[in-house]
């Protein structure tokens, strides 16, 4: 029997179409309740947060190489809106902000990328990543069902996604981006916005999915993430605290495992042991987790004015790679060994059926076995925090230190225990270069302390700090003047008038007639403070000069656009005529300090003023300069006190 040629060609065409459709379906990123799948293949993902903005771009290859050598196969980074669009409509993707270059470099290193677009990121980053100009949009309320905010948010997100598409950086295009995140820990503030919060989170998720990136979107700490967005866990122990995805068909993902804690001024160093970190990760993978991200794997530095309120310039220095990019041992090495051990269990973890065997009080075995094969992996868990134990598992005895997990990739032999550290220990030390510090010649320049006549922004009352500086400087001068007669002074010589200032934050230096009076500040938990200091006043005109400052802008919480800082109320107490309220006395304001505007901290800027040889202690508000010849560097220090 002969088959007609037309029918044969038609059959071949159908086979080709079906084959192409199946091939297309197998490419890209999909997921089910077990794991993410890249081009149809399951894998285990060990992710590390490295932010391109927190290290010089010259260091990117070095840090990525060290992360890869440590067993990391996914790089997670935020996208920093205020870095890329500091002025509305004016974009910056150059140098340390070259996001495309960073992502392409990750691909060159054979690592995937989780792009946390946000665009609210928190991240201990100034203003949570929002550019200042967004505060001045008419009728705007951040992060809620507010049309002005949604318009600008969507515009930025679309721009970033299109940039990624144009460079073919999403996985279905052959790029490294396998996940993207919209919003960030919104559940922390959702209740503040009531029904509008619920509407917003649904809108944000659906808006992101509608951009058709070809990769899954995630929302961290968001139980009501709309399908198909995956809700993920942030925290230190997601293996025990995460209640799981909000749908059975979504995988278990951990977007932030805090390797320590970021530092704020006034707090002691934060530490987290390598053993505790390893336990949390082993626990997570033993309970069907397939992607765990270290936040941070390399923290780096908050350069310039990029850190949020009271956050130090050193960011997550206790991460596996410290601020300088040095391996923090034993943390880096212990985690590298953990990743190797878990990879030995990959087939059983991804394709096996799971069971739990109780071995005693707070003792258990979590087992993964693939039916019909020899694939078997076991996690022997001692959840006792203080006492070790010896357990029997499949006819063999195993010793388990307290608060530890042993990994058996063949259900027989222990290749790793979270409490048993075999990685070397190291300590970071510094030595002072005698050659670099010999014959240093310090010079000094006194900055201007303005009067009200020299402060161009006038108002009856003190103005709010952040809305006056507009994020161009941390500093704002508040100046006023009073005229005193002899009748104003106390009759008793032992009574000194007191200057009192109620300040909404964050810190303040006070001067009277150009003479330094004192300093006061708030803290990370309570930004506001009250300044009280005795002051020497004189007959006639007296100038009150307050140099107020923010230590970064806030980065979290509801109604971020309404946060306040700066002088609130001012009075002089102890005068013979009673307390003098200066709050409505008429005030002048001057944003920034003169040396900052002239960029005295740069080589060219330092040439703009006349420096004097430093002799002992300088006057208030003084810049100090020294030229160091090894290597040739210019160091300029700004001192606001005497």
User: What is the set of active-site residues?
Assistant: 185, 256
* Residue 2 exposed, middle or buried by CB count within 10 Å (0-12, 13-18, 19+): exposed
SS3 content of the chain, % helix, strand, coil (to 5): 25, 30, 45
Q: Which of 115, 127, 128, 119 is nearest to 153 (CA)?
A: 119
Distance CA 121, CA 153 (A): 12
Q: Could you give phi then psi for residue 168, rounded to 5 degrees?
A: 55, 55
For residue 32, CA distances in Å to 40, 209, 251, 347 come to 11, 17, 6, 16
From CA 355, how far away is CA 367, in angstroms rounded? 5
228, 216 contact by CB (below 8 A) = yes
Helix axes 274-286, 331-344, angle to 10 degrees: 20
Q: Which of 26, 230, 225, 206 lies closest to 114, judged by CA? A: 230
Measured distance CA(548)–CA(566) in Å, rounded: 6
Residue with tokens 């995140």: 181
- Cβ atoms within 10 A of the Cβ of 186, count? 23
User: How many angstroms separate the CA atoms of 169 and 108, rounded?
Assistant: 12
Q: Is the peptide bond before 228 cis (omega within 30 degrees of 0)?
A: yes
Q: Is residue 114 a contact partner of residue 75, using CB atoms and an 8 Å limit?
A: yes
Residues 334 and 274: beta-carbon distance below 8 Å: yes
| β-bridge partners, 482 | 542
Dist CA 287 CA 245 (whole Å): 13
The H or E element containing residue 36 is: strand 36-38
Cα 189 to Cα 157, 201, 558, distances in angstroms: 21, 11, 6
Q: How far is CA 355 from CA 248, 269, 287, 343, 345, in A?
A: 18, 40, 10, 20, 15
H helices of 57-146, in order, are 60-69, 81-84, 99-108
Pairing mode of beta strands 217-220, 177-182: parallel
CA 615 to chain centre: 42
* Cα separation, 569 vs 584, whole angstroms: 9
> CA Rg, the chain, in Å?
30
The torsion angles phi and psi of 104, rounded to 5 degrees, stand at -65, -35
Strand ranges in 344-463 using DSSP code E only, listed in sequence order: 353-360, 363-369, 376-382, 389-393, 396-400, 404-408, 416-417, 443-446, 457-459
């Amino acid at each position: 029997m002969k088959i007609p040629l037309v029918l044969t060609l038609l059959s071949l065409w159908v086979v080709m179409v079906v084959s192409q459709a199946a091939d297309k379906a197998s490419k890209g990123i999909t997921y089910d309740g077990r794991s993410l799948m890249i081009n149809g293949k399951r894998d285990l993902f060990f992710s590390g947060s490295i932010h391109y903005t927190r290290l010089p771009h010259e260091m990117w290859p070095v840090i990525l190489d060290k992360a890869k050598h440590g067993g990391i196969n996914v790089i997670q980074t935020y996208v920093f809106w205020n870095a890329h669009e500091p002025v509305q409509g004016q974009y910056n993707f150059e140098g340390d902000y070259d996001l495309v270059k960073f992502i392409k470099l990750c691909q060159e290193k054979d690592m995937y990328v989780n792009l946390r677009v946000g665009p609210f990121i928190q991240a201990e980053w100034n203003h949570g990543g929002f550019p200042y100009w967004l505060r001045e949009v008419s009728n705007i309320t951040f992060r809620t069902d507010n049309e002005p905010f949604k318009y600008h948010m969507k515009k930025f997100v679309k721009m970033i996604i299109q940039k990624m598409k144009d460079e073919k950086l999403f996985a279905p295009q052959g790029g490294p981006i396998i996940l993207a995140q919209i919003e960030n820990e919104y559940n922390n503030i959702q209740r503040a916005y009531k029904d509008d919060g619920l509407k917003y989170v649904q809108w944000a998720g659906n808006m992101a999915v509608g951009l058709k990136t070809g990769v899954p979107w995630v929302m961290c700490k968001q139980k009501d993430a709309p399908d198909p967005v995956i809700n993920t866990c942030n925290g230190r122990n997601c293996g025990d605290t995460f209640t799981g995805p909000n749908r059975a068909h979504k995988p278990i993902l951990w977007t932030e495992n805090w390797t320590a804690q970021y530092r704020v001024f006034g707090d002691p160093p934060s530490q987290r042991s390598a053993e505790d970190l390893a336990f949390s990760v082993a626990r997570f993978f033993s309970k069907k987790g397939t992607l765990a991200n270290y936040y941070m794997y390399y923290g780096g530095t908050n350069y310039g004015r990029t850190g949020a309120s009271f956050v130090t310039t050193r960011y997550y220095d206790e991460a596996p790679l410290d601020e300088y990019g040095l391996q923090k041992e034993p943390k880096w090495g212990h985690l590298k060994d953990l990743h190797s051990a878990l990879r030995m269990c990959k087939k059983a973890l991804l394709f096996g059926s799971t069971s739990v065997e109780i071995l005693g009080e707070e003792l258990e075995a979590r087992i993964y076995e693939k039916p019909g094969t020899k694939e078997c992996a076991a996690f022997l868990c001692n959840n006792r925090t203080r006492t070790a134990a010896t357990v029997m598992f499949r006819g063999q005895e195993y010793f388990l230190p307290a608060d530890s997990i042993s990994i058996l990739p063949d259900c027989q032999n222990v290749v790793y225990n979270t409490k048993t550290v075999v990685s070397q220990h190291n300590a970071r030390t510094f030595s002072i270069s005698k050659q670099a510090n010999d014959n240093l010649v310090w010079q000094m320049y006194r900055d201007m302390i303005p009067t009200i006549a020299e402060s161009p922004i006038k108002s009856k009352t003190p103005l709010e700090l952040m809305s006056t500086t507009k994020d161009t400087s941390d500093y704002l001068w508040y100046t006023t003047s009073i005229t005193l007669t002899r009748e104003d002074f106390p009759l008793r010589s032992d009574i000194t008038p007191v200057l009192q200032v109620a300040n909404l934050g964050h810190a303040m230096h006070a001067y009277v007639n150009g003479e330094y009076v004192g300093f006061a500040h708030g803290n990370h938990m309570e930004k506001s403070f009250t300044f009280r200091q005795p002051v020497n006043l004189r007959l006639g005109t007296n100038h009150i000069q307050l140099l107020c400052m923010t230590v970064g802008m806030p980065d979290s919480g509801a109604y971020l656009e309404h946060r306040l800082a700066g002088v609130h109320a001012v009075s002089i107490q102890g005068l013979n005529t009673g307390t003098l309220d200066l709050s409505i006395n008429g005030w002048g304001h001057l944003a920034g300090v003169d040396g900052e505007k002239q960029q005295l901290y740069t080589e060219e800027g330092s040439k703009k003023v006349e420096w004097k040889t430093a002799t002992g202690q300088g006057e208030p508000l003084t810049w100090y300069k020294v030229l160091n010849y090894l290597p040739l560097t210019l160091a300029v220090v700004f001192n606001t006190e005497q």
